[in-house]
Amino acid sequence: MSKLVGQSIKRKEDPRFVQGKGSYVANLNIAGMAHLALKRSPHAHAKIVSIDTSKAAALPGVIAVFTGQDLIDGGCGKLPCGWNVPNIKVPTRWAIQPVGDKVRHVGDTIAAVVAESRYIAQDALDLIEVEYEVLPASLGAKATVTSGIVIHDDLPDNTSYPWAIGDLPAAEAGLSAADHVVELKDLINTRLIANAMEPRAAAAQWSEMTEEMTLWTTSQNPHPIRLLLSAFTLGIPEHKLRVISPDVGGGFGSKIFHYPEEIITPWIARKLNRPVKWVATRSEASMTDSQGRDHVSTIKVGVKNDGTITAIHISTHADQGAYLSTFAPLIPTALYLTLMTGLYKVPGVYGEVWGTITNTTPVDAYRGAGRPEACYALERAIDVAARKINMDPIALRRKNFIPANEFPYQTPVALQYDSGDYHKLFDKLEEISDYNGLVAKRDAARAAGKLAGIGVVGAIEASGPAPSKVAGALGGAVGFWESAVMRVHPSGKVSLMTGSHSHGQGHETAFAQVVADELGIGVNDVDIVHGDTAKIPFGMGSYGSRSLNVGGSAIVKAGEKVRNKMLKIAAHQLEASESDLVYDRENGRVYVKGAPSKSKAFGELAFAAYTAHNLPDGLEPGMEEQSFYDPANFTFPNSAHIAYVEVDKDTGEVNLQKYYAVDDVGNVVNPMIVEGQIVGGIVQGIGQALYEHGAYDADGQPQTLTFMDYAMPKAQFFPRFEVARTVTPSPHNPLGVKGAGEMGTIAATPAVANAVMDAIAPLGVEHIELPLTPQRIWKAINKI
């Protein structure tokens, strides 16, 4: 029936992006705009004894200098945590740390300079004199608990919360029933820097007469940011505050959260009654954007000699950084331990986590958010288990799959998987990778003296967090529904206002395909409107691979309402009963069953709705419908990936030669966009496996503040990725879609790690930590 959904339509937004004509916050120039720069702490942990801003303030071109106390006295509140698990202690965090308080990570903010130019502001930063009492830094997700260094007075053991799920006795029983228990001790899930292409930015304009504030910010979710600003941090009422996220150049999670600069910038704009703009430098982004991962875990997996997994037990310390970023506690709890059973039926499961505080940049959601951490720990352990019992890694996984006929499947760790067919997934993987051929290739390479390895992964994702009432029960301060307003204009063109936010994903195209098919109109007859609280209904934004399955479902519901209203008008005008009419979604018209020539076109009906000359009695004029869609459940995309690597014996360098991925993301609206998401995700996942690491030295100094040191994966590092799909629709959303944004990232890290470990296993190496840099591999294989 559908004609646009399922097609690889070229992205409507790309002409402006590829020509450099997007409109980003940094491009914004308002007459009289002043420039804001922020003084950042050079220390990981220090008491702010005093600040002298007089020299900076005296520099010609400097308009004002503000410190933390100015903002507190001016009514700015503490940054709230939006996910409060039971027994959590939330450390105090100000937009700018005041004198007498402390800085707690390199990059913590201590003063704000406003100047006529960005250059002058930068000069003035160097003139601010700060007296610090430098304190030792407490570092390490696990080590911080016993460091004896108190970062926040009310958290003496640097622990914000404990959290646990599962059945401990069952897990222990499972482990004792196993023939082998594989244990990976203090397994590290590396800290990553998201590095969206566009650094964060904020600009604000105050209208003195109407007392309205407009804030432009690089956010993935402008409405929740407005709510937090209104209710907690800035105090401007919601109806007087407009938040706009225009074109945003990537987020990967790091732009979900409420950041200090979103408070400082509008506060100053109002204080000075001048438009103000702040744009992060790349190094500033590297020290202040919330980062990802950073777990230390000990995982135990019990297996029988026949490959049956009997139990999983995991203990994790999750480094949350110096303060709790907006959703930090959600990631290592409900988005992590609940995914600990992967694709498998495991009788005994128990997981526990401690959210800990260190003198580092805050950590929160980063592409995959919790799920890659779970997948990496589990799939690494399963790989070690397969080697231990000398079983093919795919065979071991197959042995434990949840069978296709047992969906919906209730896992022992709270989630109910909606649908899946994991054997079909792996059948496809074995087919496209010629698995037996690949094994033969590896064995031949080994026989020729090379270090060659194959890494297999089966991965699960929970995408589109849901439903809202469960979010509330788990500590969330937000709901997880999404909104859509479908405005059919009198001429039959459509504006679709969505609460989802596109920061590179292609919503302007994929959502338009959905709208067009709902109504039977062309993709260019629809525009997707997003990212402006003055234009769109309250909506939750984009993260957690939720946009299409939740936001898209809201569109479908709104479309149904539009069609129903159109049917009413058509029934009236065609003098037929509604039940005798057909809404033709191929051609955008309504006709009488059996008499297709008796019909009304979509445009005619739209126009009729607005002239209101001839509507059924009691029907309101106009054609605008809205929906707030609260999903019944997450969706559960799943994937099977294989990597083939050869390791250079002499240098330790990894040569990734082949990569095959099969992903089941349910129905697909735009295959090209999905493939882009999968491949981009794989690259990011391999980044974690081989290259990326947001490292700190023993004093808490970040070591990777520029791209000279932080290794982003680059196109020339990779072979062509062979990607394929299987389709198991989600049964509980109207499009049958599942999230596609994070699957690649989740699966790729362990796939490549497993391949490298397989390559060096013949030399007696069981495990090394990420990232698998040449030096680490060289040391491991030479036992240095």
Partner 1 sequence: MFPANFDYYRAGSLAEAVDLLQKNPGAKVLAGGHSLVPAMKLRVAGPSALVDIGRIADLKGISLANGQLTIGALTTHAEVANSPLVKDNCGVLAQAAGQIGDQMIRNRGTIGGSLAHADPAADYPTVIRAVGAMITVFGPNGLRMINADSFFTDLFSTALADGEIITSVTVAAQDASTRGSYYKIPHPASGYAVVGACAIVSQADGVCSSVSVTVGGATANPVRCAGVESALIGKAANEANIAAAAAKTDESVNATMGDQYASSEYRNHLAAVAVKRALMAASA
Binding site for partner 1 (CB under 8 A): 118-119, 122-123, 281-283, 650-651, 653, 690-691, 695, 703-704, 706-712, 714, 717, 773-775, 778-779, 784
Residue whose CB is less far from partner 1, 441 or 779: 779
- What is the smallest separation between the CB atom of 699 and partner 1, expressed in angstroms? 14
Between the alpha carbon of residue 95 and those of residues 92, 98, 233, 618, 758, the distances in Å are 10, 9, 9, 53, 47
Residue whose CB is less far from partner 1, 118 or 446: 118
CA–CA dist 16, 3 (Å, integer): 26
Residue whose CB is less far from partner 1, 59 or 672: 59
- What is the smallest separation between the CB atom of 649 and partner 1, expressed in angstroms? 10
Contacts of residues 435-442 at CB distance under 8 Å and 24 or more positions apart, as own/partner, are: 435/394, 435/642, 438/642, 438/644, 438/658, 441/644, 442/644, 442/758
**Are 544 and 463 spatial neighbours (Cβ–Cβ below 8 Å)?**
yes
- What is the smallest separation between the CB atom of 61 and partner 1, expressed in angstroms? 11
Q: How many CB atoms lie within 10 A of CB 156?
A: 10
Residue whose CB is less far from partner 1, 63 or 540: 63
Q: What is the phi/psi pair of residue 344, to 5°?
A: -115, 155
* Preceding amide of 771 cis, omega within 30: yes
- What is the smallest separation between the CB atom of 427 and partner 1, expressed in angstroms? 35
- What is the smallest separation between the CB atom of 686 and partner 1, expressed in angstroms? 11
Residue whose CB is less far from partner 1, 242 or 293: 293
Residue whose CB is less far from partner 1, 611 or 651: 651
Residue whose CB is less far from partner 1, 199 or 355: 199
**Are 686 and 680 spatial neighbours (Cβ–Cβ below 8 Å)?**
no
Q: Which two tokens stand for residue 231?
A: 């209710």
Residue whose CB is less far from partner 1, 289 or 383: 289
H helix or E strand, kind and range, residue 679: helix 671-686
- What is the smallest separation between the CB atom of 708 and partner 1, expressed in angstroms? 4
- What is the smallest separation between the CB atom of 710 and partner 1, expressed in angstroms? 6
Bridge partners (DSSP) of residue 656 are 645
- What is the smallest separation between the CB atom of 753 and partner 1, expressed in angstroms? 16
Residue whose CB is less far from partner 1, 365 or 654: 654
Which amino acid, residue 723? V
**Are 518 and 735 spatial neighbours (Cβ–Cβ below 8 Å)?**
no
Residue whose CB is less far from partner 1, 126 or 129: 126
Q: Which two tokens stand for residue 681?
A: 């995700």
CA–CA dist 542, 545 (Å, integer): 7
- What is the smallest separation between the CB atom of 126 and partner 1, expressed in angstroms? 8
- What is the smallest separation between the CB atom of 24 and partner 1, expressed in angstroms? 16
Pairing mode of beta strands 180-192, 309-319: unpaired
CA 383, 387, 389, 395: dihedral to nearest 10 degrees? 60
Looking at 245-321, which runs of residues are DSSP E strands?
276-279, 292-303, 309-319
